[in-house]
Amino acid sequence: MSRVMILILLVFLPLVAESAPGINLVTSAPTADGGQEYTLTIQIVLLMTVLTLLPGALLMMTSLARLLIVFHILRQAMGTHSAPPNQVIIGLAVFLTFFIMAPVFNEVFETAWVPYTNEEITQAVAFERARQPFHEFMLAQTRETDLALFTRLSGRETFESEEQVPFSVLMPAFATSEIKTGFQIGFLLFIPFLIVDLVVASILMSMGMMMLSPMIISLPFKIMLFILVDGWALLMGTLASSFYV
C-alpha cells in the first residue's frame, strides 16, 4: 500500500522548488520580543491537498471503477442483495486493481521513484517519468469517441500525437470509457441470470403458483449455476485480461 501511495503521489505532486532537498513541515522565525514564531510551509499544505485526491485518483486513473461496476451488477443479477457484502466487493476490487496495475506501478517505481530518491534525477523529471506509464495505460483503455468528445469540449479539434493529450482531457475520457465498459460487461453477465428467472417464472405460472415469488426459487439455481461454471475464476480472469488485450 505504501508503494502505491508513493507512486500516485508522484503523479499528482505539484512541482515545488527543486532546490529543496525535502519538505519542511514547520518553519520558525524570531520575533521582536525574543520568542519564536512557527508557521506551516506552503509545501505541506499542497501535500495535504494531494493526499485528499488519492481516493479519486485511485478510482479514476486505475481499473477500480470498472471492477466495482461489474461486481455490483453481478450481485444484483444474482439477487443476493447483500452477499457478498460491500466491504468484500470493495476489497476484492481494490486488490484485483493492484494486480492489474502492477506493471504500471512497478514501472513508475523503478523509473521515477528509485532514481529520485537516489538523487539521480530532479523532481520535474521524476514527475514526468511517473506520469508517462499512467498516461499510456489510460490512453490504451480510452475509446476514441470519448477522447474526441472531451478534446472538442476543451476547445481543441485534435492533437498531433497521443503523447500530447493532457491529463485534463484524458482523465474524464478514461472515466467515461471505463463506466461504459463496466456496464457492457455487466449486461453480458446479467443475461444468463435473467434467463433463469424467466424460466422459473414461466414454470411457476404454468403450475398456478402465481403467489410464490420466482426470486425465492431461482436464487439457489443461479448460485448453483455460477458455482458449477467456476464463475468467480472466469470473471476475475476475464476482467484482468480485458485491460491487456
**Secondary structure class of 26 (helix, strand, coil):** strand
Side-chain half-sphere CA neighbours of 208 within 13 A: 0
Give residue 117's Cα distance to chain centre.
26
Can you give the length of the chain in residues? 245
Tell me the CA end-to-end span of the chain in Å, nearest whole number.
27
pLDDT of res. 156: 79
Q: How many CB atoms lie within 10 A of CB 176?
A: 17
Q: If you average pLDDT over residues 87-95, what whole number do you get?
A: 89
- Give Cα separations from 21 to 17, 42, 115, 122, 125 (angstroms): 9, 15, 14, 10, 15
| pLDDT over 70 (residue 196) | yes
| pLDDT over 80 (residue 26) | no
| Phi, psi dihedral angles at 40 (to 5 degrees) | -80, 140
pLDDT of res. 112: 82
| pLDDT over 70 (residue 231) | yes
Percent of the chain scored above 70 by pLDDT? 79
**By 3-state DSSP, what share of the chain in percent is helix, strand and coil, each rounded to 5?**
70, 5, 25
33 class by beta-carbon count within 10 Å (0-12 exposed, 13-18 middle, 19+ buried): exposed
Which single residue is written with the C-alpha cell 460491500? 86
Which single residue is written with the C-alpha cell 508517462? 132
**Least confident span in 5-19, 78-92, 144-158, 161-175:** 5-19
Q: How far apart are CA 192 and CA 200, in angstroms?
A: 13
Q: What is the pLDDT of residues 179-195, one digit of tens each?
A: 999 999 989 988 888 88
pLDDT of res. 160: 73
| pLDDT over 70 (residue 166) | yes
Q: How far apart are CA 122 and CA 106, in angstroms?
A: 19
pLDDT of res. 207: 79
41 class by beta-carbon count within 10 Å (0-12 exposed, 13-18 middle, 19+ buried): middle
Task: Report angle CA 199, 205, 211 to the nearest 5 degrees.
Answer: 115
pLDDT of res. 177: 92
Say which residues have a Cβ less than 8 Å from residue 113's Cβ, sequence separation at least 6: 6, 7, 10, 126, 130
| pLDDT over 60 (residue 176) | yes
Q: How far apart are CA 198 and CA 145, in angstroms?
A: 36
| Mean per-residue pLDDT over the chain, rounded | 78
pLDDT of res. 144: 86
Q: If you average pLDDT over residues 90-105, what whole number do you get?
A: 89
Most confident listed range (50-59, 158-167, 182-191, 222-231): 182-191
pLDDT of res. 17: 38
Say which residues have a Cβ less than 8 Å from residue 74's Cβ, sequence separation at least 6: 186, 189, 235
